[in-house]
Structures are given as C-alpha cells and as structure tokens.
Structure 1
Amino acid sequence: MLEILELMPKKRPFWDQYVCQSPHGLPLHLSGWQDVMVQTYGYETRYLTAVSQDRIVGVLPLFFVCIPLVGSVVRTMPGGLCADSDAAAQALLAAGQAWAQQKRAKRFWLADSRICRPGDLQTTTAHVHWTLGVRGDEKTLWQQLDGNIRRQVRIAQRHGLTVELGRSGALLPVFYNVFARFAHQAGTPLFSRAFLENVVAVFPDGFHIVVVWQQKRPLAAYFQLEMAGTVYGMWGAALREFLPLRPVYLAYWEIMRYAGQCGYHTLDMGRSPAGSNAAKFKGQWGGTAHPVYQQIAHFGGQANGEANGRFQWVTDLWPWLPFPLAQFLGPKLRRHMPFA
C-alpha cells in the first residue's frame, strides 16, 4: 500500500537518510531547504513523502511562488523528485499537481530533474550537467587531465594566483561580492546574501567556498555543496576583466583536488546551457554530460518559452543599471524566481 504523506518535523531525519542513501538523491532534496526557503522568502511549502510499509520510497519538495506577468507556480527544488520506482514517482506527481490545482496555480514545474518522468508534462532539455570522477591522489588526478587544462592551471600559478578554501562561512561575504559583480555583468538579478547565510546556517557541515586571489584581490569564487560521495558545484563566478589570468582553471583544479583528498568519488560540475561556452569548458575536464529536464504541467498559463520571453528585457537592461541599484533590486526580483 503506497501512501503520500506530508513531512512532519519529527520525520526529517528519515527523509534526509533516504535522500543520502538513494542513488537519485541530491543535496537540494534535503529537508533543510524547507527552512531556507521559508526563512528567506516566506514561501508556502509542501514536502511530500511516498511511504510503503512504513518505509520512505520517494520524496517531493515543493514550494508555491507568485511570478509577476506569469502567475502563481508550484515548483520543486532544483533536482525534481527522488523516488525508488515509477509508481512512487507517479503518486508523488499526482499529489503535487493536485496541490497546484488546489492553490489555483498556473503551472506545476518539475525543475532541473535528472530523470525524465513520463506523463502529460511539457518537457524541455536546454541544459546539461557534467560529472567527473575524482578518485585518486593529487598526482593521479593531475595526470588524468588534458594537457591544455594543465597548461592553463600553470598560467594561473605563474601569475601568482592563490586559492583559499573555507568551510566555516567566513568567505561568504567575499564570495557574494564576486558573484554579485559577475551577475551584474551577465544581466542576471541576484538573490540576497541572506539566502546564502541561511544555507550556511542550515547546512553547516555540507558546503565549502573556494576563492581565487591575486594578492588581496578576489578574482573568482565558487560555492559547493557536499553530500554522500559527491561534491556539487552550485554557484560560481569569475570577474571578466581577470579571465586572461585563468582563475577559473585554477579554481576547478583546486575543487577537484580537494574532493579527491577528502574521499569523494564524483564532482558534479553543475548545469550549463547545452552547447554554451560554459558547457564546453566543463567538457574539457574529461567528464560526462547528462541532460537536465524541465517538465511542466500547465493549468491555463502560458507555455514556458512564452513566459520566459517576457523577462528578456530584464537581462538586456540589467548590466546598464548602476551596480548599487542592481544590488538593491536584484533580491526583490529573485524573490519571485529564486532558482531562475
């Protein structure tokens, strides 16, 4: 008998144990994100479990958000759902869509899923994520890199760039400042620093931050999550004017080296648009590309492409805004699109 139940606080350890042990589990499936989303944005959430014979066989983390010009949406955390079987997945999807219709949402969004779920869902695959094996000592990992990658890392080292890795949150202000500058240049409104502060507070042992320095100047910064045997690249940026110094190559090498030293077996380099320069860069490291699916059920709203097109003007305008104004407005916009 398969039951769909809402997560209760006392059941959180069982939820997280299931996610960590599942081959389909991702850090963003963990129950702590419910606290992050509520504390940062005040969202209404619903975390659903599929239970069979008193055992969790699937989880679906959902939140409800109103997006200007688009309407209200019930969506998952990036990563979609996590389930042992198609039956559990379909039961969770049915319950999630029922809640979306109850909330009169315009659409139900299974976001950034690693598995394409069958059913009456509009499916797109505009992104890929790259995974790279990192078993072995530093010498082994270095030798398995392509010769061009090693040359780029050495260029960064010859320019005197150094790397600092922290697991306490002390580097968070530096990371956020670099990321904010990059996001402004790229035309992307950025979430508030409070969002990341909440992530650090909820997952004190599940993250690390890497910063690439030229003396006292930060050139690049990356925020990773850690779970089970994998390090996951979440957010990262390098300032454009310093790209010739190759800080990105040095950062990725240090993340890879750290993962191997700590006993992780895989580095998930995060998602990028398929065919983009970012995707091609990640491919140079010798990993494997996997599709990332967006699956949407519409309840009277626009198709996804039409809705997304309404925000192109924001991307076009954003780099022209004064940086302080962009910093002020960004978190207000991202409240409606937290993982855009």
Structure 2
Amino acid sequence: MLAHPAGTAYQLFAWGKAVEQAYGFRRVYLLAEDSGKVCGVFPLIDFRVPLLRKRLISLPYCDAGGILADSDAVAHALLDEALVSAREKGSDCLIRSVCPLSFAGNNQTEKVRMVLELPESSERLLAGLKSKLRSQIKKPVRDGLTVSMGTGELVPGFYQIFAENMRDLGSPVHSRRWIEAIVEMYGERIRVALVHTPDGTPAAAGILLLHSTTVTIPWASSLRRFNRLNPNMLLYWTFLAFAADNGFKRFDFGRSTPGEGTWLFKQQWGAVPQRLFWYEPKAAGEESSPIKEMEPTGPSKNRQLAAALWSRLPEAGANWLGPRIRKYISL
C-alpha cells in the first residue's frame, strides 16, 4: 500500500485498526496474491448502524479508500469477492476511491480532493506563493504566535480545539478515543501540530498523515475568536513546510465542493482539484440504488436548522453526545 502510486494514507492498515479499536467496527481486508506476492488489497469496514441495513464501506470517516491493484483484472476480482461477502452478510457495499472503477457502476459524487504538487523545499514553496498569501503566513509569527509539532503529547490540546470548533460548526465531534487510536496506530506516520497565541492559549490544531510520497490532512481546526490572528494560516504553512522539507511530493488538502469556501481556501495555495469516485456497486442481478449517507452532502433547510441548534448546545453536552452520534456517520 505504501508502494502503489494511487495509495493514500487512509488505506494503510492503521486506519482500519483505529476504526476497530475506537468504534468496534470489524475490519474486512481482502488481499489478492500472485505466486506469494500481494498484487491487490481492498480495505473494508463492516459498518453497522442499529435498525438500518449493514454496509461494507471502503472506507468510513475519510474521503477515499477503495481498491489498490496491479491490474484491472485483480481489482475486478477483489470487488467480486467483496460483493459475495456483502451478500452473505446481508450488506450493501460502498466504495470511496481516488481512482475510477469502470466496472463498479456510475460515480455518485461531484466532490473533489485538492492536491498540491510540492517543490523540493519550503523556501521554494514560499517563493512561489502570491505576495498577499506570504504576508498572511508571516503575520501570525510577527504577532507572536508559536507552533509546536509532535504526536501523542499534543492530542489533549488538539482535541480541545477540535471539539469546540465542531460544536461551533454545528456538527457532532468524533470521540477523543478515536483521535488517540489514530495517533497510536499511525505511529511514526503521523504528526500533530498546535498553534498558540502569545499568551499560550491554543488557537488552532491539525493532524497530518504521512504516506510514502503524499501527506494528507484529515482534520484542521481553528477557534473563531482568534480569527484576527490568522492561526489557521500558520498551521497550514507549518504542515506544508514540513512536507516540502522532508521530501514528500504531494500535499492532499482533503475533500471539497468546487466553488465553496474550503475549496477557495485550498486553491489559494496552488492546490488543484482531483475528482473523487464513490460507488455503490451491485452484484449481477441486483437493482442499483443511489447512495444514501447519514450525513447529507448538500445544503438543506433541515440540515442548516440542525446545525444551528447543535451549535447552541453547551460544550460539555455536545462533547458527551457528539461521539455517540458521530460513530454512526460514515463520512
């Protein structure tokens, strides 16, 4: 999975292990071998929501999982085996991939991931940015903000910011146990960063996952009351500089909807959109149906109302209830 050119950090065994440890959903990883050599892998999670139909998902809680294979024939064989397993379990199958799978049906999302090709150093990266963006990067440092990078020791600070930010956005937060499991399972392939104001108050935080050539940022949060200090700009620059200076070739900013605010934020760094491919494949003879996510992907009055109500919850209440709901939202 590290050597495959289309591989992502999510497809490493660490992600599935963290899902199993934190939330109790079982891993169903399919491997294809040729003469004793692995030639394909299909990471899946047996995702079960009470009172709803079961699903084999590749993968939950992220943009992309999907099949990694040396050929279309191997990929097709892995998908066939997954559909057999799904049918035996009475489950649907849902694939989120960075690669098109022509034999899996029609792509059912317009989402993209924003990816930046990195130069060989942070110095060259900085020089290639527009002057306004360079000023926004330097301003937090001039104003006395500091940033630290580490791993597990920064989880408490990260989670404090993450939980408050998710509540303010009106969205249930993942459990702290989930974040701790991710950090534990990825080991040396993860970095946590924390930005502090001049008086030492945590203002922004993020997590970076390291693949062989590509780094991915699954979560980044900043607190609204510190927006004037631009801690988010310093956070992203810290990750980008780290990636460029450590020989990584690409920076994956994560999922966005073209034209929306997060898309524009990522585009300003030079990131370009790459389509995501989401499928709900069916075995021969089964009737196709559209993907139905527990978390809607587009704006709606009901969703906006739910988010507004959630953002008014006391933080302690949101942090207690949020993880109990978030576990069952696969996206």
**Normalising to structure 2: TM-score of the pair?**
0.89
8 A Cα contact 1:24 1:83, kept in partner: no
**Normalising to structure 1: TM-score of the pair?**
0.87
The 3-state SS of whatever aligns with 2:120 is coil
| 2:80 paired with 1:98 | no
- Which residue of structure 2 lines up, in the alignment, with residue 336 of structure 1? 328
Q: Write 1 or 2 for the structure with the bigger share of strand.
A: 1
8 A Cα contact 2:9 2:215, kept in partner: no
Matched residues in 1 for 2:89 and 2:306: separation?
Answer: 28
- Which residue of structure 2 lines up, in the alignment, with residue 141 of structure 1? 125
- Offset at residue 150 of structure 1 (A): 0.6
The 3-state SS of whatever aligns with 1:32 is helix
- Which residue of structure 1 lines up, in the alignment, with residue 223 of structure 2? 239
Q: Which runs of 4+ in 1 moved over 4 A?
A: 298-302, 305-311
| 2:192 paired with 1:200 | no
Matched residues in 2 for 1:236 and 1:306: separation?
Answer: 23
- Which residue of structure 1 lines up, in the alignment, with residue 105 of structure 2? 121
| 2:137 paired with 1:169 | no
- Which residue of structure 2 lines up, in the alignment, with residue 84 of structure 1? 70
- Which residue of structure 2 lines up, in the alignment, with residue 60 of structure 1? 42
- Offset at residue 300 of structure 1 (A): 7.3
Structure 1 stretch 87-96 or stretch 242-251: which is displaced more?
242-251
The 3-state SS of whatever aligns with 1:255 is helix
Alignment CA distance shift 1:70-1:187 (3 Å): farther
8 A Cα contact 1:231 1:267, kept in partner: yes
Matched residues in 1 for 2:294 and 2:17: separation?
Answer: 28
- Which residue of structure 1 lines up, in the alignment, with residue 22 of structure 2? 40
What whole-Å deviation, never above 9, does each CA across 1:20-42 have from its counterpart, x for those lacking one?
11101111111233321221122
Matched residues in 2 for 1:301 and 1:104: separation?
Answer: 15
What whole-Å deviation, never above 9, does each CA across 1:249-282 have from its counterpart, x for those lacking one?
1111111111122222221212222221111110
- Offset at residue 118 of structure 1 (A): 1.4
- Which residue of structure 2 lines up, in the alignment, with residue 188 of structure 1? 171
| 2:95 paired with 1:110 | yes
Corresponding pairs, count: 318
The 3-state SS of whatever aligns with 2:158 is helix
- Which residue of structure 1 lines up, in the alignment, with residue 202 of structure 2? 218
One-letter code of the match for 2:6? H
Q: List gaps (5 residues or longer) in structure 2.
A: none
8 A Cα contact 2:40 2:69, kept in partner: yes
8 A Cα contact 1:207 1:223, kept in partner: yes
Matched residues in 1 for 2:104 and 2:135: separation?
Answer: 49
- Which residue of structure 2 lines up, in the alignment, with residue 327 of structure 1? 319
Alignment CA distance shift 1:64-1:314 (3 Å): farther
Alignment CA distance shift 1:153-1:305 (3 Å): same
Identity of aligned residues (%): 30
Alignment CA distance shift 1:69-1:315 (3 Å): farther
Which residue, 263, 268, 272 being the options, matches 2:252? 268
| 2:213 paired with 1:229 | yes
8 A Cα contact 2:67 2:75, kept in partner: yes
Structure 1 stretch 67-76 or stretch 202-211: which is displaced more?
67-76
Matched residues in 1 for 2:8 and 2:253: separation?
Answer: 13
- Which residue of structure 1 lines up, in the alignment, with residue 139 of structure 2? 155
CA RMSD of aligned residues (A): 2.2
Which residue, 237, 241, 245 being the options, matches 1:257? 241
Matched residues in 2 for 1:191 and 1:176: separation?
Answer: 9
What whole-Å deviation, never above 9, does each CA across 1:201-256 have from its counterpart, x for those lacking one?
22210100111110211111110011212221111111122222211111111111
8 A Cα contact 2:207 2:220, kept in partner: yes
Matched residues in 2 for 1:294 and 1:188: separation?
Answer: 23
8 A Cα contact 2:25 2:48, kept in partner: no
- Which residue of structure 2 lines up, in the alignment, with residue 9 of structure 1? none
Matched residues in 1 for 2:186 and 2:52: separation?
Answer: 32
